[in-house]
Structure 1
Amino acid sequence: MEWFPDRESLRGRVAVVDGASRGAGRGIAAALGEAGATVICTGRSSRAGNETSDYDRPETIEETAELVSDLGGTGIAIQVDHLDHGQVQRLADRIRAEHGRIDVLVNDIWGAEWLKGGPAEWNTPIWEHDLDRGLRILRLGIDTHLITSHHLLPLMIGEPGGLLVEMTDGTTDHNASNYRISVFYDLVKVAVNRLAFSQGHELARYGATAVALTPGWLRSEMMLDNFGVTESTWRQALEPDRRDGLPTAPPPFEASESPRYVGRAVAALAADPHRARWNQQSVTSADLAREYGFTDLDGRRPDSWNAG
């Protein structure tokens, strides 16, 4: 049965999605917009051009904010480097002055996709791994989350019902028994799951909820470019003997998901009056799709973590 978002379920709610320029962050902002939320989209990639992310990519927070508004929400773009304490404090001050609170905070800051390298560089032992790159991965993947929560969570705890979503790669259970790419990448993704647990402990007394959320194989802009496809043509990546020497995606790509899918997971959590039952848990977009009944843009409910 075809599924449609409830365009009013988050009307009047104020959400902050950091790392909203692209990938999961853009998908989450868009899905919150589908549900009518006011979404503050932050990140370094801006049309202002006075700061740059670690990626040489064309996407910007302004494009994401416009998408939010086009989908029925209110999109607001604010350029922020989430490693800069002063910039994040100024973000908090502006939100306090203009909105008075935050109902949903999504810590989706990453920015280290290129630093982690491609498959040929995976499994490089720590003594051979470039130390500066490794420490930069930690800064981008952990410090940014801590700095952001420190400054923004005070805007969430004034009234019960707030939601903090920590975006990661892999659930707590999966990462506990699987080595992930390198010591540095592995540490970041385990740590972010734990951040949801520990912050959930601290937020519970204020009636707020913290959840760690992982997408499956995400069809981000970078992933689509890697296979020479678009969101509307992504299945072509699975075809053998592709034109112009383009790579063929491995069979598990069949279970990949658009960024909107994990976004709808966040929107479903935010709209659930009983969301506190998820506090401190680690879940996938597919877990929440089964619980709440939403689908991806194409009507599917992919689950790449259990695709075999």
Structure 2
Amino acid sequence: MTEKTLLGQIALVSGATRGGGRGIAVQLGAAGATVYVTGRSTAVSRSPMNRPETIEETAELVTAAGGHGIAVPTDHLDIAGVGELVARIDREQDGRLDILVNNVWGGDPLTVWDKPLWEQSLEDGLLLQRQAVHTHIITSWHALPLLVTRRRGLVVEVTDGTAEQDYRGTFFYDLAKAGVIRMAQAQAGDLRPHGVTAVALTPGFLRSEAMLDHFGVTEDTWRDGIAKDSYFAMSETPVYLGRAVAALAADPQVDRWSGRSLATWQLAKEYGFTDADGSRPDWGGYFAATQRDSGVAPEDYR
């Protein structure tokens, strides 16, 4: 049984319908937190992503894990709607919010990998920035005063890659992911005097529901996907990302990470947690090794 290190704490996880957001919400719940889970896909309406997962399902999983899940349908580009969400948390939790996770993405259908900037749709590229970056800004603007008032708390900006990473291969995607990292650094600068920590956090090769579908596998048969992409051997489940956030939130000295760009494989070594299967995937170490030697064995990095 997971130790209830976050019992009594209140979290908001935006973009918690599926994937990393769901993994984070459930693991915060497993540690005892009350988790507000938000997104656009509900039991009665799908988002433009047109996926079957819903925020109600995520909330149920949070509660089943040992926490208290509260589903709140929210479009994080709707400034007034996000304000209402935070006002509800303020009202229901007596002004308490301990953990804010900005995880909204929604950019997969808008990302083009095989064209330079000037050959891509400007409309789609700007929409990607709004969905993947502006949503985070809007949510932080509304939510941060709750953390500042209590002079404690954690903000996690979920991204892809670390601050040291080179160009991600396509302009608008790179701009969004790098922008979120910089956003964590900037928030850390504003929040540090108020006792609140902000970090950016990346998973490795995330084995989300959409990624499993992409490879035509299930979580039970995921290794069959390695034949299509050898790097899939080092993939990790959303549980790994969730445990990274839960470990940060439970760390009484989390402020040592303030403004940093962090990774699941780095924090797994620091805090000692594992993925759902008990392994400890080191995506960063494995990828770097494959750039030097084509004969690297994945099992040496799990």
Q: TM-score, normalised by structure 1?
A: 0.91
Contact 1:12 1:38 in 2 (8 A): yes
Percent pairwise identity: 53
Match of 2:101 in 1: 106
Counterpart residue identity of residue 227, structure 1: F
Deviation of the 1:53 alpha carbon:
2.2
2:36 counterpart of 1:40? yes
Give SS of 1:36's match.
Answer: coil
Deviation of the 1:215 alpha carbon:
0.3
- 2:26 and 2:100 map into 1 onto residues whose CA distance is 14
Counterpart residue identity of residue 253, structure 2: H
Match of 1:72 in 2: 66
Counterpart residue identity of residue 15, structure 1: A
Contact 1:53 1:111 in 2 (8 A): no
2:27 counterpart of 1:10? no
**Cα deviation 1:234-290 (Å, max 9, x = unaligned):** 11222xxxxxxxxx3321111110001011000000000000000000010111000
- 2:32 and 2:228 map into 1 onto residues whose CA distance is 35
Deviation of the 1:48 alpha carbon:
3.2
The correspondence of residues 54-133 of structure 1 with structure 2, limited to 5 A, is 54-99=48-93, 100-117=95-112, 122-133=113-124
Counterpart residue identity of residue 90, structure 1: E
Superposed CA RMSD: 1.0
* Consecutive unaligned residues in structure 1, runs of 5 or more: 239-247
Match of 1:183 in 2: 171
The correspondence of residues 1-308 of structure 1 with structure 2, limited to 5 A, is 5-6=2-3, 8-49=4-45, 52-99=46-93, 100-117=95-112, 122-174=113-165, 178-238=166-226, 248-307=227-286, 308=290
Contact 1:45 1:53 in 2 (8 A): yes
Counterpart residue identity of residue 201, structure 1: G
- 2:159 and 2:180 map into 1 onto residues whose CA distance is 6
- 1:211 and 1:91 map into 2 onto residues whose CA distance is 23
- 1:163 and 1:197 map into 2 onto residues whose CA distance is 13
- 2:10 and 2:242 map into 1 onto residues whose CA distance is 15
Deviation of the 1:41 alpha carbon:
0.1
Give SS of 1:56's match.
Answer: coil
Counterpart residue identity of residue 238, structure 2: P
**Cα deviation 1:88-122 (Å, max 9, x = unaligned):** 000011111001221000000000112114xxxx1
Deviation of the 1:84 alpha carbon:
0.5
* Consecutive unaligned residues in structure 2, runs of 5 or more: 291-302
Deviation of the 1:170 alpha carbon:
0.4
Contact 1:256 1:302 in 2 (8 A): yes
Deviation of the 1:130 alpha carbon:
1.0
Deviation of the 1:72 alpha carbon:
0.4
Give SS of 1:127's match.
Answer: helix
- Structure ranking higher on relative contact order (CA contacts 8 Å, 6+ apart): 1
Match of 1:245 in 2: none
Deviation of the 1:76 alpha carbon:
0.3
Counterpart residue identity of residue 111, structure 1: G
How many equivalent residue pairs? 286
Q: TM-score, normalised by structure 2?
A: 0.93
Deviation of the 1:192 alpha carbon:
0.4
* Mean CA deviation greater in 211-220 or 250-259: 250-259
